[in-house]
Amino acid sequence: MPMSPSEIVAKTGDLPTLPHVATKVMRMVSDPDTSAKDIQEAIITDQGMTGQILKISNSAMFGMKREVKTLTHAIMLLGFDTIRSIVVAAATKNLYQRKGSSGFKEKLIWENSIGSALIARGVAEQFSNIDKEEAFIGGLMHNLGKTVLNARFNEQYSQIMATAYNDERPIHEIEMEELGFSHAELGSCIIKQWNLSDSLVHAIKFYLEPEKAPKEHRMLTAIISISDRFCKDLGLGVAKPTPLEEQDLTNVRSILNLSEEKLDRWREIIHKKMEKDSAMVKTL
C-alpha cells in the first residue's frame, strides 16, 4: 500500500511547490501596505507569467472593452485579488504537467481544474459572504492530489483512472479501495503545507462531501463541490460526462439553498459562460 497523505507530503521531492512569484504575490496581496507598483515589480521579473496575465486579462472572462496592453494597466483595472487569482492560475498550470508523459491525462485534469475555478468564481459572486477569488483558487486546486498521485504512482494511478472511467464510478471510491485515501485528502495536505487559508484547506478536503466540512467553511466547500459537478455536466475532466440530473446534489443544494429553478438558471448561465471562456480553458 502507498504511503499516507501526510507521509507523501513529508517526503522531500514528492510535493509540488508553488512557484516563487506566485507565493510572493499571494503574500503581498495580504499586506495592506502593498502598492500596485510593488505587485508589478514582483511579477515583471517572470516574462512568462507577465504574458499569461495579459492574455487572461484580455480574455472573455473579464469582458474588457479595450485591450489591456501593460501589466500596470492590468493590475489597476482588475485589482489585487483578481491579479492574485490569475498569478496562481498561471503558476499552477505547470503543476498539472508531468515530464516524460504524453500529457493527455494531465490535460483533462487541468481542464476540469480551470473550468471549476471559473465556475466557482461565478457562483461565489451570488453570495455576499464568499470571497470570489478564494473560490477561484479553491476550484483551481481541488485536483492537486490527483496530480501528485499521477506523478508518484503513475502506473497504479493510471489504472485507477481507467477503472473509474470504464466502470463509470467516482474516482475517489476507487482511490479509497486501492490507496486507503482520496485525492481530496492529499490535496488538502498540500494546501496546508503551502500555508494557504484554513478555509481552502477544509474546502479541498471535503469538497466531495461538503456536508462534513466545518460549518464556517461549508459554503465555500459546497461552491467548489458544485463547480466540479457542473464540470462533469459539461464533460470537463477524466470521467465520462454526467448530466446534473444523474448526480446526487442533495447535500450541496441544501447548503447553498438551491431550488430546482435556481439550479436550472445557474446551469444555463454557466453553460453560456463556459462556451465564451472555452478557449481559455483549452489553452491557458
Report pLDDT for 75.
87
Mean pLDDT, the chain, whole residue set: 86
Grid coordinates standing for 182? 482520496
How would DSSP label each residue in the chain?
A: -PPPHHHHHHSTTSS----HHHHHHHHHHT-TT--HHHHHHHHHT-HHHHHHHHHHHTSTTTT-SS---SHHHHHHHH-HHHHHHHHHHHHHHGGG--TTS--HHHHHHHHHHHHHHHHHHHHHTT-TTS-HHHHHHHHHHTTHHHHHHHHHSHHHHHHHHHHHHHTT--HHHHHHHHHSS-HHHHHHHHHHHTT--HHHHHHHHHTTSGGGS-GGGHHHHHHHHHHHHHHHHHT-SSSPP--GGGS--HHHHHHHT--HHHHHHHHHHHHHHHHHHHHHHHH-
Q: Which amino acid is at 187?
A: G
Choice among 6-10, 57-61, 240-244, 262-266 with the minimum mean pLDDT: 57-61
Report pLDDT for 240.
84
Report pLDDT for 145.
93
- Cα–Cα distances (Å) from 13 to 49, 88, 125, in that order, read 24, 21, 38
- The answer to whether 135 touches 120, Cβ cutoff 8 Å, is yes
Tell me the mean pLDDT in the region 207-221.
Answer: 97
The yes-or-no verdict on residue 60 having pLDDT over 60 is no
Report pLDDT for 138.
94
Measure the CA–CA gap between 183 and 245, rounded to whole angstroms.
25
Grid coordinates standing for 17? 511547490
Sign for the pseudo-dihedral over CA of 26, 27, 28, 31: positive
Highest mean pLDDT among 106-110, 145-149, 192-196, 198-202: 198-202
C-alpha R_g of the chain: 18
The yes-or-no verdict on residue 13 having pLDDT over 70 is no
CB atoms within 10 A of CB 276: 14
Q: What pTM, to 2 d.p., does this model score?
A: 0.85
Tell me the mean pLDDT in the region 57-70.
Answer: 69
- The answer to whether 150 touches 14, Cβ cutoff 8 Å, is no
Task: Report which of residues 10 and 185 the model is more confident about.
Answer: 185
Domains of the chain in start order, with CATH, are: 5-283 (1.10.3210.10)
- Cα–Cα distances (Å) from 89 to 68, 136, 255, 267, in that order, read 18, 9, 27, 24
Task: Report which of residues 65 and 67 the model is more confident about.
Answer: 67
The yes-or-no verdict on residue 142 having pLDDT over 60 is yes
Report pLDDT for 281.
59
- List all residues 6 or more positions away from 180 whose beta carbon is below 8 Å from its beta carbon: 1, 2, 4
The yes-or-no verdict on residue 62 having pLDDT over 80 is no
Report pLDDT for 49.
81
Grid coordinates standing for 173? 471510491
The yes-or-no verdict on residue 2 having pLDDT over 70 is no
The yes-or-no verdict on residue 187 having pLDDT over 70 is yes
Q: Which amino acid is at 50?
A: T
Grid coordinates standing for 72? 500596470
Confidence bin at 204 (pLDDT 50/70/90): very high
Choice among 9-18, 68-77, 112-121, 237-246 with the minimum mean pLDDT: 9-18
